[in-house]
Amino acid sequence: MILALFWLALGLILYTYVVFPLLIFWRGLLAARPYHQAPAIPRASVIIAAYNEADSIRAKLENILSLDYPAERLEVIVASDGSRDGTNDIVRQYAGRGVKLLPLPRQGKAAALNAAVAIATGDILVFSDANSMYAHQALRFLVQPFADPRVGGVAGNQRYLSHTGSTSAGEGEKSYWGFDRQLKRFQSRAGNVISATGAIYAIRRELFLPVPEGVTDDFVTSTRVIAQGYRLVFAPEAVAYEPVAGTRGREFGRKVRVITRGLRAVLFMGQLLNPFRYGFYALQLFSHKLLRRLVVFPLLLLLVTSPLLWSYGLFYQLVTLAQLGFYGLAAAGMLLEGTRLGRVKFFSLPFYFCLVNLACLLAVWNVLQGRRIVLWETRRPEAGEAGVIAQPSERRAS
């Protein structure tokens, strides 16, 4: 029994982190499905949901308004979700430059996005975070794939800013997104990326459906494109920059919030897990958004069973020692956080891996308890930190 559990756990871990990525890469190479791109300039509405973003909203608006995109083809809407820190006053200063402020009572990001889309006039809806900064030609690259009528959504390329004061968690996240970016390239070549990131993505106006509360809005909005029979592709040249993570405490809280909402979003879009209708995309979604977030359980099972099999031979002894060594490096990364040595990948990657999987464990518990994270309080980083971490306010599902 213990032997069977050991191999089940090891098999699930290897599939999640080795076999599945290899499937993505090979499929991208062998089963490419090209799509048409053209330098068209459709009318685009950039939608920014903001809550207490006075520290970053001016830079964000200056960034958007300075992009290489004709002003007469660009609409900018800021949906202020009950901001009370001066965000609205700053946005009003840009009314003469075509920026629309939508002041709303505090309801949550989903309600803010829905309200903003209701007044948007662009053929293409572009969604962006208040603290993400676009490369000069990002919008042009983001809209080019819409020249193909089969493309309903485009995921942009989120990158993290270099920061000398970044933490072990921040360096680990940068490495993770570097790997995820390569997966997106190959997913897009052969069909659909799994989902878009909220920093930069776009969909056709007619494909937008109201976002429900308590889910990851960028996941639901972008995957609904696929549910409606269109492609969701990746535009690597459409780059948005975001600050790296803050301290481990703040990053951990953010991860729990994001993964909780993400798991609820996968359940909400459960129809996409049907392989008879959505083919290989269903396997992608299951492997990347569900199994990867649940792999913490095989990891714990492997940690428990491998020492019990020590007497079975060298292989089981090596697996046990490898786990102890890996988790030892993660502990060192935690202790060295904020130091130059702690930012070395040898320590930051194991630390970030463990931090994310622990967050997954708590997120699963949140979902099982019926907790919906709808509102959160924005907390600015302390001196020397990078990033903006949101502290959640939870609601229990009815």
The model's pLDDT over 116-155, given as tens digits with 9 standing for 90+, comes to 999 999 999 999 999 899 999 999 999 999 999 999 999 9
Separation of alpha carbons 32 and 35, rounded Å:
10
Residue 173: its pLDDT value, please?
65
Q: Compute the distance between CA of residue 350 and CA of residue 331 in angstroms, rounded to an integer.
A: 8
The answer for residues whose C-beta is within 8 angstroms of residue 305's C-beta and 6 or more apart is 2, 5, 6, 9
More confident residue, 345 or 23: 23
Predicted local distance difference test score (pLDDT) of residue 162: 62
Tokens of residue 226, six digits: 């696929």
pLDDT higher than 70, residue 170: no
C-alpha–C-alpha distance, residues 69 and 137, integer Å: 8
Concatenating the DSSP letter of every residue in 266-320 gives HHHTGGGG-HHHHTHHHHHHIIIIIIHHHTHHHHHHHHHHHHHTGGG-HHHHHHH
DSSP 52: S
Q: Which pTM does this prediction carry? A: 0.86
Q: Are 232 and 281 in contact (CB under 8 A)?
A: no
Place of tokens 């989120």: 158
Q: Tell me: the pLDDT tens digits for 350-396? A: 998 999 999 999 999 999 988 877 665 555 444 334 333 333 333 33
Instruction: Note the pLDDT of residue 372.
Output: 74
Say how many residues make up the chain.
398
The one-letter amino acid code at 106 reads R
The answer to whether residue 397 scores a pLDDT higher than 80 is: no
pLDDT in tens, 4-22: 999 999 999 999 999 999 9
pLDDT of residue 395: 39
CB-based contacts of 62, cutoff 8 Å, min separation 6: none
For residue 43, the model assigns a pLDDT of 96
Structural domains of the chain ordered from first start: 44-247 (3.90.550.10)
Tokens of 194: 């799994």
Distance CA 126, CA 4 (A): 49
User: CB–CB of 245/387 below 8 Å?
Assistant: yes
Nearest 5 degrees, angle CA 125-CA 254-CA 330? 130
- Residue 338: pLDDT band with limits 50, 70, 90: confident
Three-state SS at 45: strand
